[in-house]
Chains A and B, each alone.
Chain A
Amino acid sequence: MFRIRNILSSLLCLAAVIGYLPLASYLGAIPKVAIPLAIIFAFFAERKELALKERYSLILSIAAFLFYALQFNRHNVVQPAVEMLAIFLAIRLVGEKSPRNFMQSLTLAMFCLAGSTLFDLSPGFVFYLIALLFVFTVSMVLLTFQSRAAAFEPDSRELRSIISVALLQPLVAAPLIIFLFFILPRTQLPVWHGLTRAGADRSGISESVKAGDKGSISTGSSVVFRAETKKLLPNQLYWRAIVLNSIKNDEWIRQTPPPEKSTIKDGKNVSLNIFLEPGRIPFLPTLNRPERIIGYRGQPHDDRVFPAPRLTGGLRSYQILAKTDATLSTIGSFNKKFYLQPPANTPERLKSLVARAVTGIRENKQKLDAIENIFAKMNLSYASSGLPTGANALENFLFDAKKGHCELFAISFATALRLAGLPSRLVGGYYGGDYNELAGYYVISEEKAHVWVEVWIDGSGWITVDPSRFAVNFEESVSRKRTDFSLKMRLALDSLSYYWNKAVITYDFESQLSAAVRVSQGFQGIREIRFNLRKAAPYLALPLLLALLFMLLTTKRKTPEERLLAKFKRVTKARYGILFSPSSGLHEAVAHLDNADVREFVATYTAAIYRDRKLTEAEIEQLSETVRRIRKTPPV
């Protein structure tokens, strides 16, 4: 025997956990602690019948409402609202559990789960939603039992059948939910969190670079974007996002580049689909060298940088046409001086080193070779910790410490190039990425953020040079390999996020429209076929008739007695709510019913049946009349 109350209480705790988990990390301290405590209390208090009195819950609720209403303002809308919901849930959990309160608590748990989507849209949501849906329906059915028959204590068999019937409902509803999924409009980013979250914290790249600045290089492992494409060579994996072209107070920043009619020559065509993770990104990442972004509505800059549209959340996926191993050249001339301005604070030793190396060399290409030679001989190594900082960071890096990260490499190299009179600029973006063989895409995380250099060589155009490659340990450190197994595991898990992104988040209104068009076209197609159907009807009818005949022959025909009994059972059940269990006799079933008609039917019917004789015509007539009377007479 099970007490329905206890089951309901456990289910409510479960629902609260499901509502709380996805929301937990976005809650303030009070609700974050209050809900788990309330759940634990509710779980153990139910056995001892402890509960907060209704009026105290009311006072607490009002207090919570006032507390959060005061925090509510134009800039802070969602947070207080969601936290208030959470607190209400906690109060309901510790409060008395009338059926009404049960309902409220379940609904609050559902609201909490819904509230979490304002902060985050992760695949986990579907899991929580489905779990909560099942808990919800089972609870509703049990709740109905509790309010209609409080004393009812089902045994394990009954409970199993109740729960299985309850579980059937969400299963039946599932196709409808999927159908609605394709119809209803949806948001592509968490409405609240996506707009308010600071941009740089997720992209891993920054809009300015300065030697000796600590922390501008990112080491986070959260995914920035995924790129669906075929597998590329490692040296082709330069993901271009931003170009830093001028220097202000020793800091490399981006200014509007001078007009330049750039064109991309040679190289191999690559098409990629990029799926951005939610978060703000100032410039859309592309693959070096990007030809164009299909459907891009902004104005691409002349140096092949694509600023993200104003409402940055708007674009979550796009297709890029790019060329690998291509040269970026310019039709006509452009302001080369813009790319020659050297930093004010350049280490003297670097200046002299460069001056010595390039004296007498006139060809730009050879100058570049000479400078590359300097760096190759310097015996620098790549590191991401213990880096030189401060005003003399560059000198420190090149001549003393001899270790640094990509920013130091790029800044010093670009500085050297500018000293040698070669127009150059820094390119920020990402290098590398883990290829998911399973689904065919690259995962690029924050830690892949990288900075390299583009240098202008007359006759060749902008050439990509990655100075970090001069590091003696470049291969190990920049393109360092994870152990195969952990990488595979991570990528397999990532596939889930990828498909979620692809199928749910970026599934937009256009796709909905085109799906609708396809469906309506499908219907039109059916209308055309219908004419043919008419001709084919006889042929289709034949198997149908055969099937019908087969059914008629094989199904046991009901005797008049069986029909009469079925009618009697139906009517009596509808009228008096009598349940005819297969293991109880008719007299037994109607024993408690004081109704002359019902008694008469049962007596006459059983007298014939259990004497092993068929009902006579007159008896059938009479019994049918009795059943009609039962149906018409309302219960007293």
Chain B
Amino acid sequence: MNNSNKQNPLQRIIPHLADSHLPGREKPLKLAVIALLTGGHILIEDLPGLGKTTLALALASALGLTFGRVQCTSDLLPSDITGLTIFDRHENGFRFIKGPIFNNILLVDEINRAMPKTQSALLEAMEEQRVTADGETYHLPDPFLVIATQNPSEQVGTYPLPESQMDRFLIRTGMGYPDEEIEKLIIRSGSIRDGIRSIQPVVDHDQIIQGIKSVKTGIFLSEKLADYIYTIVTATRNHAMVQTGISTRGGINLADAAKANAFLAGRDFVLPEDIKELAVPVEAHRLLMRPGYESIDREGLLNDLLTKIPIPLS
């Protein structure tokens, strides 16, 4: 096994955070880290009050990264996110004030409350990793992770993300309620929002960059498993209820996410389990259902497909 992978403290960050600060949150935490490592973004769809912000804050603190937050409303303007150019009287010239997007980790709360124009500016910046304002291009910091949240129960006065834009998120997941025991513990010990500020970083910036590089180049994806991913992708394309199956980008993203998962497990090769574990969070939101089947549970459908596709074992 590759030694640099084994020693990367990024692998310890999930147990570290989950044990001390975010009990019962391994799964969304891990998915967020995977998104970070692959340069993707994560969309968390769940009710308010389940610790989405806490998760983002804790992650930023533990990684020693900067953190920004945008609370979306229907009158939020693109410049409220990207920043704007103002006239500086002292210097007698124009100066660009960077918006919250110029942080390593950006929490976009209730992204579906922002109007489409703002959403699209944000999504464009996520994709391009840069902001262009008044003819000037500003690069976003590296690493850059957007954690967007969406409240699935409130639909009034919202602009749901178009299905095509969903493809821009590497991962969509829910938070879910914590287990009974853990929730009782959380209730007893109160909110940990204050404590999070004091979390000391466990990794430095270089190690994160090194980790991202390792995921990109240091993890081996077997030919058999590439076939496996291809089988999953084509199975969704040929499914009777699905109008548009997983795109090629979806396939690439699944491979990347699986590699990141292998990296976090300290392996330098991908196991079929990595792919199986991540197929639903990475791919379910990309399925576009046929008319009449929109209400079908896409995660269930994908899980069902996975139980039918044999895993290459030899």
Contacts and interface: CB of A to CB of B under 8 A. Distances in A.
A586 B271 CA distance: 9
Contacts of B140: none
B74 interface: no
A557 B314 CA distance: 13
A612 interface: yes
B222 interface: yes
Contact of A585 (B223, B273, B308): B273
Interface string B301-314: 00000111111011
Nearest to A602: B271
A607 B272 CA distance: 11
A445 to B, nearest CB: 60
A586 B313 contact: yes
Nearest to B274: A585
Contacts of B223: 612
B58 to A, nearest CB: 28
A585 B222 contact: no
Interface in A596-626: 606-607, 609-612
A150 B231 CA distance: 36
Nearest to A584: B311
A610 B306 contact: no
B222 A583 contact: no
A587 to B, nearest CB: 5
A54 interface: no
Interface stretch (A19-27, A261-269, A338-346, A559-567): A559-567
B313 A609 contact: yes
Interface in B253-284: 269-273, 276
A582 B276 CA distance: 13
A612 B223 CA distance: 7
B270 A610 contact: yes
A467 B197 CA distance: 123
Interface in A196-210: none
B95 interface: no
B84 interface: no
B255 to A, nearest CB: 13
B306 A611 contact: no
A559 B314 CA distance: 9
A588 interface: yes
Nearest to B225: A610
Interface string A559-596: 10110010000000000000001111111100000000
Contacts of B314: 559, 561-562, 565, 609
A583 B224 contact: no
B129 to A, nearest CB: 32
B311 A610 contact: no
A228 to B, nearest CB: 59
B220 interface: yes
Contact of B269 (A562, A582, A586, A611): A611
The size class of the interface chain A forms with chain B is 10 to 19
A612 B314 CA distance: 9
Contact of A607 (B269, B309, B311): B269
A609 B220 CA distance: 11
A14 B273 CA distance: 46
Contacts of A606: 271
Contacts of A588: 273, 276
Interface string A308-323: 0000000000000000
Nearest to B276: A585
Contacts, number: 48
B271 A583 contact: no
Contacts of A583: 306-311
A586 B273 CA distance: 8
Given A559-B314, A565-B314, A585 B271 contact: yes
Contacts of B225: 610
Interface in B217-241: 220, 222-225
A609 B310 contact: no
A583 B272 CA distance: 10
Given A559-B314, A565-B314, A609-B314, A585 B224 contact: no
B224 to A, nearest CB: 7
A561 B313 CA distance: 9
Contacts of B271: 585, 587, 606, 610
Nearest to B220: A611
Nearest to B313: A565
A582 B308 CA distance: 8
Contacts of A565: 313-314
Contacts of A584: 276, 311
A366 B310 CA distance: 100
Contact of B224 (A587, A607, A612): A612
Nearest to B310: A582
Nearest to A566: B314
Nearest to B1: A607
Contacts of B313: 565, 585-586, 609
Given A582-B311, A583-B306, A584-B311, A610 B273 contact: no
A565 B314 CA distance: 8
Contacts of B309: 583
A609 B222 contact: yes
Interface in B141-181: none
A610 B269 contact: yes
Contacts of B220: 610-612
A583 B279 CA distance: 13
A610 B310 contact: no
Nearest to B273: A585
A346 B247 CA distance: 110
A581 B271 CA distance: 16
Contacts of B222: 609-612
A582 B310 CA distance: 5
Nearest to A606: B271
A610 B224 CA distance: 8
In this complex, which of B225, B273, B308 has the most chain A Cβ atoms within 10 angstroms of its Cβ? B273
B269 A585 contact: no
Contacts of B224: 609-610, 612
A588 B308 CA distance: 15
Contacts of A585: 271-273, 276, 311, 313
A49 B314 CA distance: 50
Task: Identify the interface centre among B272, B306, B314: most chain A CB within 10 Å of its CB.
Answer: B314
A582 B306 CA distance: 10
Nearest to B223: A612
B201 to A, nearest CB: 32
B1 to A, nearest CB: 8
Nearest to B265: A587
Interface string A351-379: 00000000000000000000000000000
A173 B216 CA distance: 60
Nearest to B306: A583
A510 to B, nearest CB: 59
B197 to A, nearest CB: 37
20 contacts: A562-B314, A581-B307, A582-B310, A583-B307, A583-B308, A583-B309, A583-B311, A584-B311, A585-B271, A585-B276, A585-B311, A587-B273, A588-B276, A609-B222, A609-B313, A609-B314, A610-B224, A610-B225, A610-B269, A611-B220
Interface of A: 559, 561-562, 565, 581-588, 606-607, 609-612
Return the 6 tightest CB-CB contacts between A and B, nearest first: A582-B310, A585-B272, A585-B273, A610-B222, A561-B314, A562-B314
Given A582-B310, A612-B223, 12 more contacts: A561-B314, A562-B314, A581-B307, A582-B311, A583-B306, A583-B311, A585-B273, A587-B271, A609-B314, A610-B222, A611-B222, A612-B220
